[in-house]
Amino acid sequence: MRRRKKYAVHSPSWISGYACSIVESMKPLVEFHHSNVNSKADVDSLSLVGDWTFRLLVLLLADARGMYTSSRCSKDINGIDPGVIWSESISRAMWKKLRDDVSSHSRRMFYGSEIVGSQPQNFWRTSSLDSWIPSKVEESTFLTSIQGILESIRLFQDEQIDFSVLPLEVLGSIHEHLLQRTLTNGRVQMVNGRKKSGTHFTPMPLCRQMVSNVLDVYRSDREEIDWRSLKICDPAMGCGAFLIALCRELNLCIAESSSVGQDLENRKFTHQIVESVLYGVDINPRATQITMVSLWLEIGDIAVTTAGWESRFKTGNSLLGYLPHELDLTSIDMVNSTTLSMLTEYRFQMYNEMVEQQLTPAKKSAHWVQYQTHAQQIRDGKRTYTRKDSVPKGFHWQIEFSPIFERGGFDIIVGNPPFVNAIRGNVPSFDKAYYQHRFQQVTGSADLAYYFLELSNHLITLEGLVGFILPKVALGAPSLSLIRKTVTPRVLHLPTSVSMFADANVQVVLLVLGATGKCMVSNEVYPTKDQWIEIQPKHQIAWVGMEANWWSQFWFATQSTALPDLSHCIPLFQSAFEVASGLITSEFYEVKMLDSKNGKGMKLLTSGGIDPFCQYWGQRTQKFRKRNYVHPRISIKGIRPKLKEKLDRSKRPKIIIANQTKTVEAYLDAKGEYQASTATSEIYHQHNSVEYLQVLLDWLHSDVMDTLYNAGLGYNALGEGISMGKSFLLNLPVPNHIAD
């Protein structure tokens, strides 16, 4: 049997593994409860057991942190009976004691008392599990199921859990593992919802590094700071990992400025930070509730209530709504709150109708004229509007956080927005269309996280900062080119040596953006002060098609490489060369293939059959449509005229360039023998000059080109391969003597 890998205690992998173990242990009880008590409501059994387990774990965390034995609590308030939790075998009487303990503590938590602050989150509500005593027939199976949950909570990797130091991020990780399960036909099954939604558990060390980066920049721009007066928001807060990190980092900032280090004072500061500095939004109601409970545990005072925190930590889709500038309002002071709400909801309704009715361009114009007329009437007090139930509810920031916008916005936006392609990912069709309509600075097939970036630029003050963890590709992705031209990177932190997530293989950049200022760069995981490199924000490749490329700034700084001299060059598209693509996707599936050494059809050359200056047709197996060929040829029978035209063009001399390679790999097809497959590009000369093509081939494999290739396109590298598109080739700098 393969030995299970052991993780370092409290490492991201350990936390994810522990959370997964707890969620897996719930399965027998969920399925047992479904079949014996609640067989008509699949969701309830899973959520009921999940809620009960959450309650138990939170109570254990609170007790272990001394919250029940603090000076504010009377002696009759005790934690959960440890004899039950640590027992190796649970009896009927022990279950009744545990059930009653959890139930009584939950009621006290939900409603509050003179001693205990109320925690009005849904999972504190009593449920059928709080009164369930199984029959004698059911007893053995039921108690075994409960025992499994208790064992997974108290033990992991054959070691007992110390709840006094158990990271609070465990709660968020359990929630995210629950998102991967569903109850179907009485069985708990895995679903791929978390991956498709782009949500992943963000390790606390990564959160704290991101928060530290953005607070350092904020500090460097100012002489004096009242840290407790800041307004900071996470617009995709998940279960509050970044908000907890902010509590800890801001506590350090306050302690440094006030020379206070006592635990009681730190607890007081944490409470002040939560109730005056922090804000957050998440689309998942349970995540919002876990955020509030986690912050309550972070404060560590049982008398603190989370009632009222729902005005700071809200549930909603951060991207689905409108801001004042989108309503033709220069300031929210132009209208009162009621009018502002009506304007926002009416605009949202008009867009919804436009999508549902699939209006023609002419009707869209008329629809828009109607909106403008009615909107002016609403502003003038001559028309009212009530949101229709059929219209999706938007999250309108200036209404939800009106005091913040009265002061000009948030000082800092920070977080790790979901990574998912908004076109191909698990995003509702209405939302996809709306994002493309609303966000004008994000273009093409964009990642959902990019829309959060554009949104955040409208949520901060003029001197505010945005600190996001984003996919590395954001540094040069064409869909973000407009944003990269309008804001200044203040921190480019790309840890290149490790994968930062326990459950997602993605390389990320810790990015801080502002209006202006110096930029700090590092490729260390957790850089010390002397491991940062200061650069000027405009330090980049000054070439058409490569401007506003933050990856190039990072690459040149960390590689200690000078910019190549391109003064003697012009873009390829201004020369006598032409750029074309190999087979496109539709042609890839259309062509009929033969494996023939001496046939009549054109030889097919795939990306895998090319190395610098050479090709391996007939020498190396090439894969095409999941089949292997040694002598791949394209059959000329029955092909469409348009494809025949492409094949005829390929009979000209040309350079074929492979895609997804570490360095440029190109081959000169001097006789026009080969048709380039997908994931390849072709370069022709207007006069079919083999001599000029050879000189260009030498340039493509030069050291200068290797530098441009890595500095210009390295942001999209997957593994060791870099994707080179047509746009890069068209704008490729080529020396004048080649271009003539």
pLDDT at 501: 61
The residues with which 522 forms a beta bridge, in sequence order, are: 493
Sequence length of the chain is 740
Q: How far is CA 346 from CA 391, 398, 627, 665, in A?
A: 10, 15, 56, 55
Name the band, by pLDDT with cuts 50, 70 and 90, for residue 79: low
Close Cβ partners of 36 (under 8 Å, ≥ 6 residues apart): 134, 138
User: Does one domain contain both 272 and 404?
Assistant: yes
Q: Please check whether residue 6 lies inside any domain of the structure.
A: no
**pLDDT > 90? residue 314:** yes
pLDDT higher for 1 or 538? 538
Q: Please check whether residue 557 lies inside any domain of the structure.
A: no
User: Does one domain contain both 303 and 447?
Assistant: yes
Q: Total domain count for the chain?
A: 4
In one-letter notation, the amino acid at residue 637 is K
Q: Please check whether residue 448 lies inside any domain of the structure.
A: yes
The Cα–Cα gap between 349 and 387 comes to: 8
The Cα–Cα gap between 417 and 453 comes to: 9
Q: Which sign, positive or negative, has the C-alpha torsion 34, 38, 43, 45? A: negative
CATH number at residue 481: 3.40.50.150
CATH number at residue 684: 3.90.220.10
pLDDT tens-digit readout, 639-681 = 888 888 999 999 999 999 999 899 999 999 999 999 999 889 9
- Rounded average pLDDT over 404-416: 94
Name the band, by pLDDT with cuts 50, 70 and 90, for residue 324: confident
pLDDT tens-digit readout, 180-195 = 999 888 899 998 654 4
pLDDT at 259: 60
Closest CA to 579 of 693, 702, 714: 693
State which of 146, 167, 191 marks the end of a domain. 191
User: Does one domain contain both 238 and 346?
Assistant: no
For residue 99, how far is the Cα from the chain centroid?
Answer: 38
**pLDDT > 90? residue 604:** yes
Q: Please check whether residue 3 lies inside any domain of the structure.
A: no
User: Does one domain contain both 68 and 184?
Assistant: yes
pLDDT tens-digit readout, 354-373 = 877 888 888 888 888 888 88
Tokens of 517: 């200022």
Strands (E), 529-592: 533-535, 569-571, 577-581
Alpha-helical regions (H) of 67-127:
82-85, 92-111
User: Does one domain contain both 644 and 733?
Assistant: yes
Tokens of 595: 């494996």
- From its phi and psi, is residue 293 left (phi > 0), alpha (psi between -120 and 50) or beta? alpha
State which of 191, 217, 239 marks the end of a domain. 191
- Rounded average pLDDT over 243-258: 90
User: Does one domain contain both 601 and 519?
Assistant: no
Q: Please check whether residue 404 lies inside any domain of the structure.
A: yes
Q: Please check whether residue 554 lies inside any domain of the structure.
A: no
State which of 191, 216, 239 marks the end of a domain. 191
pLDDT at 503: 58
User: Does one domain contain both 160 and 208?
Assistant: no
| Lookup result for tokens 């409108």 | 322
Q: Please check whether residue 686 lies inside any domain of the structure.
A: yes
Q: Which sign, positive or negative, has the C-alpha torsion 715, 720, 723, 724? A: positive
Q: Tell me the residue range of the domain where 353 lies.
A: 324-379
Q: Please check whether residue 174 lies inside any domain of the structure.
A: yes
User: Does one domain contain both 315 and 433?
Assistant: yes
User: Does one domain contain both 250 and 340?
Assistant: no
**pLDDT > 50? residue 75:** no
**pLDDT > 70? residue 1:** no
Kindly report whether the global pTM for this prediction surpasses the value 0.75. Answer: yes
Name the band, by pLDDT with cuts 50, 70 and 90, for residue 198: very low
User: Does one domain contain both 261 and 364?
Assistant: no
CB 288 within 8 A of CB 421: no
User: Does one domain contain both 369 and 418?
Assistant: no
Closest CA to 510 of 486, 474, 537: 474
Sort strands 622-624 and 654-658 into parallel, antiparallel or unpaired: unpaired
Name the band, by pLDDT with cuts 50, 70 and 90, for residue 71: very low
User: Does one domain contain both 482 and 439?
Assistant: yes
- Rounded average pLDDT over 528-549: 77
